[in-house]
Amino acid sequence: MDNELVIVLDFGGQYNQLIARRVRECNVYCEVHPYTLGIEKIKEMKPKGIIFTGGPDSVYGEKSPRCGKEVLELGIPVLGICYGAQLMAYLLGGQVKTAPVSEFGKTEVKIDISSDLFHNVSTDIIAWMSHTDYIAEVPEGFRICASTPVCPVAAMEYKEKRFYATQFHPEVMHTQEGTKILSNFVYNVCGCNGSWKMSSFVEDAIKSLREKAGKGKVLCALSGGVDSSVAAVLLSKAVGKQLTCVFADHGLLRKNEGDEVEAVFGPEGPYDLNFIRVNCQERFYEKLKGITEPEQKRRIIGEEFIRVFEEEAKKIGAVDFLVQGTIYPDVIESGLGKSAVIKSHHNVGGLPDCVDFKEIIEPLRMLFKDEVRKAGIELGIPENLVFRQPFPGPGLGIRIIGEVTAEKCHIVQEADAIYREEIAKAGLDRDLGQYFAALTNMRSVGVMGDGRTYDYAVVLRAVNTSDFMTAEPARIPWEVLEKAASRIVNEVKGVNRVLYDCTGKPPATIEFE
């Protein structure tokens, strides 16, 4: 790769990976690093630009995250965002104050378009603000280049030094022309030429995975979902037959899924790798017996998965590395950033404390789902696999509310297969972000023929989303829902009612547990 790297220094904000992703969308490679990265490391990486992120702290706080002023003495352009803007002001002798009231949400901002940061941006934009502290006085040499009625310094610049700062968040969707602002920074200010593509990521990842693995044996935890499939193919290109993919069929998969995965990755499939299918349904059902608490279910499934992989690794002998297809939203929602734990995605927060591998490799850890799909296409993975809707690691275990049993798994598998079939028949499968059937733990009274029934209610869900961090309930045509519902109650024993979930994320999540 050439030296076109922009680094994001993470001061604890929630949108940090989003900044990196927006920069990558401008075809400039971008990575997020902790603010403690250190000056020597930064020099070694030779970034063309540095972005300071937002964060929940105040620059005057005793324990607030701060990098040294020397980062601003490297001659590298810097963009500070929100807390990052305040930090820049603070480090360079400006003044930051606490406002009596926070400025939060969409705000009208007056832009001075003579600034290089705002080239071709409108003079009035709506931008996303989320702050209490504000820059009251810019440091020497700076000038104000955007403001709001309550925030005197919505943006500032020191053109000669190539320092820019915005109090608002250009990376979030709610900021109009935000991507243009970031692209102005990387092109006009940092002088990047935008030659990076997903193919470069794939090439670099293959090269660095090959170096990391050396001659060591690698085991890939394959679920057949998009993420672990992309990780597996990446690794197989990097280390060939040093890789063994272990596919644990835990009995919580969709109907026929075990066989479908085997058809792609097994000996009959197109890839040159070792493939082991472990049929461990009973073992998982046994462990989940009587367990109803969602996080406990996730932990049990996560732990049992690892134990299966460890056992397989022992049989293979001398396996150093475990590969997982963890992607960025898994990391953030498991609370490994600074944000609250939403749920422990089993390949991240759901891991047991002690894992019998020398190292866990997560080559997709910084990518979003759609970026993973792009990488999959670059790798030549068939489109039907790449555009497969996501399926969570804990599988139907988190689509069955309450205790998991083989019988309930069977019900939800059958209902889900019918629903998916009807969605595909209606030609909606590519338009929806994710859709599936789940089993409520509720039984209710119905009537079938002349008899009373007391059976389960199945719930259908379909959402539109691009990043799976937020989602809208999809407006599935009524005829499609009606057809699916009628088929489900008629064809699936044990179900007498079908519901549709109309909630978005937030406040709900996509999965039920």
Q: How far is the CB of 409 from ligand XMP (least distance, A)?
A: 17
For 22, phi and psi rounded to 5 degrees?
A: -65, -40
Report the C-alpha gap between 106 and 181 in whole angstroms.
17
Candidate segments 57-65, 284-292, 343-351, 402-410, binder of ligand XMP by CB under 6 A: 343-351
Q: Quote the DSSP letter at residue 400.
A: B
What tokens appear for 167 in the block? Answer: 């109090």
Closest among 146, 58, 78 to 108, alpha carbons compared: 146
Catalytic residue, chosen from 103, 171, 303, 362, is: 171
What tokens appear for 117 in the block? Answer: 């940061």
Q: Do 403 and 456 meet the contact criterion of CB atoms below 8 Å apart?
A: no
Q: How far is the CB of 435 from ligand XMP (least distance, A)?
A: 11
Q: Do 441 and 402 meet the contact criterion of CB atoms below 8 Å apart?
A: yes
Considering only residues 452 to 471 of the shown chain, the ones binding ligand XMP according to CB under 6 A are 468
Candidate segments 3-11, 419-427, 488-496, 505-513, binder of ligand XMP by CB under 6 A: 505-513
Measured from the CB atom, the residue of 48 and 345 that comes closer to ligand XMP is: 345
Catalytic residue, chosen from 33, 103, 157, 169, is: 169
- Which pairing describes strands 124-137 and 243-249: parallel, antiparallel, or unpaired? unpaired
- Which residue among 250, 345, 408, 461 contacts ligand XMP (CB under 6 A)? 345
Measured from the CB atom, the residue of 498 and 510 that comes closer to ligand XMP is: 510
Candidate segments 102-110, 164-172, 259-267, 391-399, binder of ligand XMP by CB under 6 A: 391-399
Q: Work out the angle between the directed axes of helices 198-213 and 226-239 (0-180°, nearest 10).
A: 60
Measured from the CB atom, the residue of 275 and 368 that comes closer to ligand XMP is: 368
Measured from the CB atom, the residue of 237 and 345 that comes closer to ligand XMP is: 345
Candidate segments 129-137, 171-179, 493-501, 503-511, binder of ligand XMP by CB under 6 A: 503-511
Q: Quote the DSSP letter at residue 382.
A: -
510: contact with ligand XMP by CB under 6 A: yes
Q: How wide is the angle at C-alpha 189 spanned by C-alphas 187 and 190, nearest 5°? A: 70
- Which residue among 237, 394, 458, 476 contacts ligand XMP (CB under 6 A)? 394
Q: How far is the CB of 120 from ligand XMP (least distance, A)?
A: 35
Candidate segments 45-53, 182-190, 387-395, 406-414, binder of ligand XMP by CB under 6 A: 387-395
Measured from the CB atom, the residue of 330 and 414 that comes closer to ligand XMP is: 330
- Which pairing describes strands 95-111 and 124-137: parallel, antiparallel, or unpaired? antiparallel
What is the per-residue binding string for ligand XMP in 419-458, x denoting contact by CB under 6 A? ---------------x------------------------
Considering only residues 82 to 121 of the shown chain, the ones binding ligand XMP according to CB under 6 A are none
Query: How many other CB atoms sit within 10 Å of the CB of residue 489?
Result: 19
Catalytic residue, chosen from 67, 82, 145, 409, is: 82
Q: Residue 82 catalytic?
A: yes
Q: Residue 171 catalytic?
A: yes
Report the C-alpha gap between 462 and 484 in whole angstroms.
13
What tokens appear for 35 in the block? Answer: 């603010």
Q: How far is the CB of 391 from ligand XMP (least distance, A)?
A: 6
List, in sequence order, every residue forming a beta bridge with 245; answer none if it has no partner.
220, 275
Q: Do 355 and 323 meet the contact criterion of CB atoms below 8 Å apart?
A: no
Measured from the CB atom, the residue of 250 and 346 that comes closer to ligand XMP is: 346
Q: Do 271 and 241 meet the contact criterion of CB atoms below 8 Å apart?
A: no
Report the C-alpha gap between 133 and 95 in whole angstroms.
10
297: contact with ligand XMP by CB under 6 A: no
Q: How far is the CB of 467 from ligand XMP (least distance, A)?
A: 9
Q: Do 304 and 349 meet the contact criterion of CB atoms below 8 Å apart?
A: no
State which H helix or E strand residue 31 sits in: strand 29-34
511: contact with ligand XMP by CB under 6 A: yes
- Which pairing describes strands 143-147 and 95-111: parallel, antiparallel, or unpaired? antiparallel
Q: Which residues are catalytic?
A: 82, 169, 171
List contacts with ligand XMP (CB under 6 A): 330, 333, 342-343, 345-347, 390, 392-394, 434, 468, 505, 509-511
